[in-house]
Structure 1
């Protein structure tokens, strides 16, 4: 673990373009992508996972992404130097010297709450905490914390390296000035921020899921094939990826969970179609399992 100490007073400084000491809880696809985004911009990044095997897998994901960024000319840096700024581990106590920690665990309420509490207990009082939740209530999560003013949502998009958007989600108790600071952080990462007040599904998930669910109903009703529906949105509306292929990339299980949450908060217009439930029950979760609405060769 890194023993680098933060200079006195630095965590409370909202004027800096980017926190230098950053933590990420969870080193899966999203967490590794978030770690990579900060790493290539010069931050010292700590990734904490549930066990040693998962931590080493996270290291491999981040370093692999960093190597690809160098190969593609996205960043002019030395891989060994970047790797020296990456630390992985399994101990929440390592978060004690972080200025900002981003939680990136699966979209499960109890898991999110326990994870955020565990991080907050270790953080300096001046440090900041963010959730990468794509749909869960930031206000609700904030109520479970001791310092809700230091908390907000930073919703990164998959795949993080290629995405240019981060949704900054403000809770009712988010401290004044933190929104502007988060916008500077996002800009320093080379991405664009959209700022929204907490609401079910925020802006992106709510709209994205609504389109995807209707596309699924069209497949279910035999209106058109998944490929033709996606092509209609890509060619007709200039979407970079169609709603069904995007669902495969995000994960059908993830989309189902978000849809069920939105149904419970916004009503039956977000009720998951039976085709989505059936595919999840069969284990057809999209790219990560090789089959969803499309086939994904390994």
Structure 2
């Protein structure tokens, strides 16, 4: 298998932008796609700001920054992936959406191109079945924020072949990340452990055991966590937290994974976390104020 040199990324949100940045900084040519031109412009501006911070800290030079930005090409059409060696799908955590994107993607790829999905919970095997190349398909779950977090979960589908896995593992290490190999079970390793903890924290709030600040303070100081579970939920996005819990609940049929009704209520209200200004905290004020 030829070495991966050109990387395509579908979705220019927080995750896609972060993946584009680390790949470009590692010397790879990147094609970044999104349906919305404004989202692409916002993505490039965010990447430039991140690189500026690294320049100010002395981690990279101005030349390094310029070179990384020059390696990122953008477009609103899937035709930009015609020469990609690997395409990473980083769309919203919605299986129907991801399957639709993958079906539309494959006609634009060269036969030997690999596909990875950045899903945080959905079956790799099911997503692979939406493509014409299940053997060349696997999960590559980055952590948020991508430029900072060192871990990438690597997940084989039932059909993933060894050359594909090895090529993606080598890429993961080449961009400075540490791989952890997970089996294709709902939510893999990190979210299988993390999201039920967050869901239990929401239940603790729902049942009145403690308030938002008390719960977060208890876990930060009592378990030495760098961020409280409700603050972390806001950072992840309550919509994403709910989506992962639903995948766990439906995939494992165990009542311990039932999403907390309060989590459902917040998502229904549109209070889905920091990126939208309100979740378990109200971010319109400084410092943020608990909403419950």
TM-score scaled by structure 1?
Answer: 0.89
User: Which residue of 2 is the match for residue 204 of structure 1?
Assistant: 190
Shift of 1:77: 5.1
User: Which residue of 1 is the match for residue 290 of structure 2?
Assistant: none
Check whether the contact 1:47–1:58 (CA below 8 A) recurs between aligned residues.
Answer: no
Check whether the contact 2:273–2:281 (CA below 8 A) recurs between aligned residues.
Answer: yes
User: Which residue of 2 is the match for residue 283 of structure 1?
Assistant: 270
How does 1:1-298 map onto structure 2 within 5 Å? 12-13=1-2, 16=3, 19-76=4-61, 78=63, 79-267=65-253, 268-297=255-284
In the aligned structure 2, how far is the partner of 1:258 from the partner of 1:164? Answer: 21
In the aligned structure 1, how far is the partner of 2:111 from the partner of 2:58? Answer: 38
In the aligned structure 2, how far is the partner of 1:98 from the partner of 1:205? Answer: 29
Shift of 1:86: 1.1
User: Which residue of 2 is the match for residue 6 of structure 1?
Assistant: none
What root-mean-square deviation, in Å, do the aligned CA atoms of Structure 1 and Structure 2 show? 1.7
In the aligned structure 2, how far is the partner of 1:240 from the partner of 1:123? Answer: 42
TM-score scaled by structure 2?
Answer: 0.91
Shift of 1:166: 0.8
- CA separation of 1:66/1:117 partners in 2, compared to 1, >3 Å: closer, same or farther? farther
In the aligned structure 1, how far is the partner of 2:47 from the partner of 2:88? Answer: 15
Shift of 1:282: 1.8
Unaligned runs of 5+ in 1: 1-11
Check whether the contact 1:120–1:129 (CA below 8 A) recurs between aligned residues.
Answer: no
* Superposed CA offset, 1:183-239 (max 9, x none): 222222222111011011111111111101111111111212223322333333333
Structure 1 ranges of 4+ moved more than 6 A: none
**Number of aligned residues:** 283
Unaligned runs of 5+ in 2: 286-292
